Structure 1
Amino acid sequence: MGAVVSPSDLTRPAKPETVFDRDAEWDALAAFTCDARPGAGLGVVSGRLRQGKTYLLKALTTALGGLCFGAQQATRADSLRRLGIELARYTGAAPPPHGPDWEDAVDELLALGDRGRPVPVIIDEFPDLVRQSPELPSVIHSAFRRLRETGRDNRTRLLLSGSSLPVMHRLFGAASPLHGLADLELTLRPLGFRQAARFWGIDDPRLALLVHAVVGGTPAYRRYVADDTPSGPDDFDAWVCRTVLNSRTPLFLEVHHLLQEETDHWDRALCHSALAAIATGCQTQGEIAECLGTPLTDASHCLALLHANGLLSSEPDAFRPHLVRLRIAEPLLAFEHAAVWPHRSALEQQNAVEVWRRARPVFDSAVAGPHFAQICRDWALDFADQAVFGAHPATAAHGSLPDPEQRAGPDAAADVVVRGRAHARSGPLLSVGVARWDEVMDLHHLERLRRLLTLLAANGEDVTHTRPACYSGVGFTPALHAAQADGQVVLVDLDRLYRGD
């Protein structure tokens, strides 16, 4: 009798060199698929389009000798026929003359794990199958139940992947037959700003942030511009013109395709207008509805759709949690709707260089500036050493507060409000900071932060240990550096954002 194989006896495959980053995701998938414990397992992989889910899953099946079936928008019969062909190719059997029904097809897929070893079986873009065969989740649930009831020694590791986030949430939500069945739930997100800089091969932090403000961390976009990367900071404007503003590249119409695929058949014109309103300064549902001249219910429906698809994020104000601000989560959408949207028709008739010359000031103020502030918040959460703020940050958000001395003016605001962990609704206030993309910061910025801390203390906030912070894309005056040396302020520049803690 052979030795009993335990999970620790199995060798997990090393991540292929062709897969950039994604170490944690690969480790999670490998741990799930190589788990040698008896019993079929179900895993869920979700994430927005263009993030590399299919590439990662195909690499996994290649490394482990599994089966990967890519679903398409096809009829039920055509999908079953294609699956039958893929199964026959994988097993070496003759393809069936007619496609089986889903009950038989799922049983055949799960039977691949009857051979005493874990076998990954992947159905990519699972929602496309469910649209034509809504009974499929119930069929899978029943098949797993039968395996448990019969006690078969089955080690299939079924992974269901999908890009439609609302559909994936519904398929595995509380009302679904698949709820509670998954052993792994993995979401593939865009690359972080530091990862994206390495992916694009950019060492200069200012250039890295500018490129990230255009294309974000979506890996596919480098392929969309045929691996064209700016050669240096002086090449950024020319790079924009020859890539995202070039009608001969796939990136030129990516925003239109992205909204078409993510929003399905909903009112895309309203979605574009809502995104343009947000990109140019509107932050709440009421402000957006007023800007669009549309009923609040219509605007709310549109915004909820964009939020559900991961294109918008909603963030409560750090000082007034009842005030929820909306932010475009996909940088390419913000770039398009703030800087390019007003010039779309001109791009069809004029030189891209001339169009970009007019759009560049808007990009600097309405795109690069807010994007820099968001990168600063990301840095505070993900990279700042605990000693920077005196404790490990739990949240980093924008915060604003009415200033009694400025009744007709803007609220007192901070771009990077860092709070620590707490059991209550609001954690301890660790830091308040301002972010300036194209401004050398001086002592008057520190004085504004001190004024804000005074207002917060008057409102009952404990600011005893709160540290002022200045974030700049171009640097600080000697006086502000001296204040940092005295422990009065935390200074964060681009080099620290990309290389420091």
Structure 2
Amino acid sequence: MLTKPDRIFDREFEWRHLSAFVERGRDTVQLGVVSGRRRQGKTFLLEALASETGGFYFGATQATEAESLRLFSAALQDYAKSPVRLRFADWDEAIRHLFTVAGDIGRPIVIDEFPYLSKVSPALPSIIQREVDRAISQGGRLALLLCGSAMSVMGGLLAGSAPLRGRATLELVVKPFDYPLAAGYWKIGDPALAARVHAVVGGTPAYLRFLNGDIPESMDDFDEWVLRTVLDPGTPLFREARYLLEEETDIRDSALYHSVLAAVAAGDNTRGGIASYIGRKAADIGHHLNVLEDNCLLRREPDVFRAGRSVYRVAEPLISFYQVIMRPQWGLLESGRAAAVWTDARPRFHSQIMGPHFEELCRRFALVEPVFGGLPGEVGAGALTDHAYRTQIQVDVAVFAPAVPGEPRRVMSIGEVKWGDVMGARHVERLRRARDLLAEKGYDTRETVLACYSGAGFDPAFHPEDDVRMIGLPELYS
């Protein structure tokens, strides 16, 4: 495997697959698609790959077809050190020449921000498909990577009847750092502080650079850090949440999409609740929900106990922070009144931002850590109806074992999450009642562990029994 440069933090999984892709391309035809939301370090990663292998890298920009061809021609001419000026009449000629060069040099070819090119030149994927097929039939060698941030466009390259479907040998999505890795990247050792910072900026690597490496020194510095970074109109992060939405190619009426995200961030996260919040019928917002899902700004999570029911969550923490804290007071923030805005918004930060975000961290913890007797098959949330008491019990973290045909679904754990509450006996009793209800519904609960997840700690007077786990921030970040 190629040695990963020291300047790249983690990304071991991505580098391993890219290295193997390049190695295969020395002898055969390889086509790869690399995607991921903006600011995740895709360009940084691919430029490093091209540099380490001596490959060709071309970063497309928003331009007309003619200008894009000129820029591509100039870049290829410089790379190939051609004494003859390259000038292509169209992409058909350009791609044929590119494949010839790629076969000659045996090094990877990277075309970054490919959606900019395919938007103004819709035939480009078909042209690449034809040349890939030709190279395969002639026993050629090639390692071509197409990269982009427009998730709906990149996802469509290999979907359905798309020209490139079935040609790719690599499909890599560069994701944000998960919360423990993000804490390491930001060099934050205090779990309470790391969770709060993650609730604002998530795991997007570029945001640390946006802030010139400004990291809160301690919990006492967190409020001041918020004021001097994300709420400061002089920092790039101040308007970033707006740009994340407006940069997506499939989004036209951004005001309506902002309203959808605001509804979800405020807690109106069912389809009906979103429609009511924005003043539309539920049937009229299906397209907008699909677009936000396709662009990885929104995700739909099914209720694990009630088939056909689901809720929506905002996928990017910075967007949630913007919708709940910044957007309602945008004028005051632009005029430099951040301190007053943050003082007023701090309770909402803990209830509407930290509470749901901590629940998500706990579900991720339960998904990847074998803390309940083995790796789970599914982790989610759901509501149980208690007819005897005419109430509902919300299970924030439900952990299921892998399904076995013909056997009852085994529940490894059910958990309740509280960000700001000290947890104890009453929370455990509620979970015991939920476990009984699941047993009545036919689930296998004989070994179900009751888990209390708290960001504020646990009642020292409560002594849990063997079937109860107390999981706090230190455990989540251990």
Same fold (TM over 0.5): yes
Partner SS for 1:34: helix
Partner SS for 2:285: helix
With 338-347 and 252-261 compared, the bigger mean Cα shift is at 338-347
| Residues 234 and 181 of structure 1: CA distance in aligned 2, closer, same or farther (over 3 Å) | same
- Provide the residue aligned with 1:447 in structure 2: 429
Q: Alpha-carbon deviation of 1:84? A: 0.9
Q: Alpha-carbon deviation of 1:414? A: 1.1
With 238-247 and 487-496 compared, the bigger mean Cα shift is at 487-496
Counterpart contact for 1:112–1:119, Cα < 8 Å: no
Counterpart contact for 2:26–2:142, Cα < 8 Å: no
1:400 equivalent among 378, 383, 386: 383
- Provide the residue aligned with 2:109 in structure 1: 121
Q: Does 1:491 align with 2:470?
A: yes
- Give aligned-pair identity as a percent: 45
Q: Alpha-carbon deviation of 1:341? A: 2.1
- Letter of the structure 2 residue corresponding to residue 417 of structure 1: A
Q: Does 1:358 align with 2:344?
A: yes
Correspondences of 1:236-251 after superposition (within 5 Å):
236-251=222-237
Q: Alpha-carbon deviation of 1:37? A: 5.6
Q: Deviations over 1:378-402 (max 9, x none)?
A: 01111x23xx312211221111112
Q: Does 1:136 align with 2:131?
A: no
Q: Does 1:62 align with 2:51?
A: yes
Query: Following the alignment from structure 1 to structure 2, what is the Cα–Cα distance between the partners of residues 63 and 442?
Result: 55
Q: Alpha-carbon deviation of 1:439? A: 1.1
Query: Following the alignment from structure 2 to structure 1, what is the Cα–Cα distance between the partners of residues 42 and 101?
Result: 23
Q: Deviations over 1:26-50 (max 9, x none)?
A: 0100110122662221011011111
Q: Alpha-carbon deviation of 1:123? A: 0.4
| Residues 427 and 99 of structure 1: CA distance in aligned 2, closer, same or farther (over 3 Å) | farther
Query: Following the alignment from structure 2 to structure 1, what is the Cα–Cα distance between the partners of residues 296 and 120?
Result: 24
Correspondences of 1:30-429 after superposition (within 5 Å):
30-35=19-24, 38-94=27-83, 96=85, 98-115=87-104, 118-151=106-139, 154-262=140-248, 264-382=250-368, 384-385=369-370, 388-407=371-390, 409=391, 411-423=392-404, 427-429=409-411
Counterpart contact for 1:112–1:156, Cα < 8 Å: no
Q: Alpha-carbon deviation of 1:111? A: 1.9
Q: Deviations over 1:348-370 (max 9, x none)?
A: 33521111000010000010011
- Provide the residue aligned with 1:3 in structure 2: none
Q: Alpha-carbon deviation of 1:299? A: 2.0
Q: Alpha-carbon deviation of 1:460? A: 2.3
Q: Does 1:18 align with 2:4?
A: no
Query: Following the alignment from structure 1 to structure 2, what is the Cα–Cα distance between the partners of residues 95 and 249?
Result: 45
Q: Alpha-carbon deviation of 1:323? A: 0.8
Counterpart contact for 1:35–1:118, Cα < 8 Å: no
Query: Following the alignment from structure 1 to structure 2, what is the Cα–Cα distance between the partners of residues 207 and 376?
Result: 16
Partner SS for 1:262: coil
| Residues 395 and 342 of structure 1: CA distance in aligned 2, closer, same or farther (over 3 Å) | same
- Letter of the structure 2 residue corresponding to residue 418 of structure 1: V
Equivalent residues, number: 477
Counterpart contact for 1:435–1:470, Cα < 8 Å: yes
Q: Alpha-carbon deviation of 1:94? A: 3.1
Partner SS for 1:119: coil
Counterpart contact for 1:319–1:400, Cα < 8 Å: yes
| Residues 95 and 310 of structure 1: CA distance in aligned 2, closer, same or farther (over 3 Å) | farther
- Provide the residue aligned with 1:7 in structure 2: none
Query: Following the alignment from structure 1 to structure 2, what is the Cα–Cα distance between the partners of residues 146 and 478?
Result: 71
| Residues 372 and 227 of structure 1: CA distance in aligned 2, closer, same or farther (over 3 Å) | same
| Residues 127 and 423 of structure 1: CA distance in aligned 2, closer, same or farther (over 3 Å) | farther
Query: Following the alignment from structure 1 to structure 2, what is the Cα–Cα distance between the partners of residues 242 and 316?
Result: 38
Query: Following the alignment from structure 2 to structure 1, what is the Cα–Cα distance between the partners of residues 118 and 404?
Result: 41
Q: Alpha-carbon deviation of 1:325? A: 0.9
| Residues 247 and 390 of structure 1: CA distance in aligned 2, closer, same or farther (over 3 Å) | same
Q: Deviations over 1:417-465 (max 9, x none)?
A: 1111115599421100001111111111100100111222222222111
| Residues 424 and 257 of structure 1: CA distance in aligned 2, closer, same or farther (over 3 Å) | farther
Partner SS for 1:469: strand
Q: Alpha-carbon deviation of 1:340? A: 2.2
With 338-347 and 214-223 compared, the bigger mean Cα shift is at 338-347
Q: Deviations over 1:241-287 (max 9, x none)?
A: 10000000011011111110125442111111111111111121111
Q: Which runs of 5+ in 1 are unaligned?
A: 1-11
Query: Structure 1 segments of 4 or more deviating over 6 A?
Result: none
Q: Which runs of 5+ in 2 are unaligned?
A: none
Counterpart contact for 1:339–1:367, Cα < 8 Å: no
Counterpart contact for 1:110–1:156, Cα < 8 Å: yes
Query: Following the alignment from structure 2 to structure 1, what is the Cα–Cα distance between the partners of residues 25 and 338?
Result: 57
Counterpart contact for 2:251–2:291, Cα < 8 Å: no
Counterpart contact for 2:77–2:86, Cα < 8 Å: no
Query: Following the alignment from structure 1 to structure 2, what is the Cα–Cα distance between the partners of residues 36 and 74?
Result: 30
Query: Following the alignment from structure 2 to structure 1, what is the Cα–Cα distance between the partners of residues 84 and 289?
Result: 46
| Residues 272 and 322 of structure 1: CA distance in aligned 2, closer, same or farther (over 3 Å) | same
Counterpart contact for 1:469–1:491, Cα < 8 Å: yes
Query: Following the alignment from structure 1 to structure 2, what is the Cα–Cα distance between the partners of residues 169 and 427?
Result: 33
With 296-305 and 354-363 compared, the bigger mean Cα shift is at 296-305
With 299-308 and 15-24 compared, the bigger mean Cα shift is at 299-308
Q: Alpha-carbon deviation of 1:290? A: 1.1
Partner SS for 1:461: coil
TM-score by length of 1: 0.92
| Residues 225 and 95 of structure 1: CA distance in aligned 2, closer, same or farther (over 3 Å) | farther
- Provide the residue aligned with 1:4 in structure 2: none
Counterpart contact for 1:33–1:118, Cα < 8 Å: no
RMSD: 1.7
Partner SS for 2:143: strand
- Provide the residue aligned with 2:420 in structure 1: 438
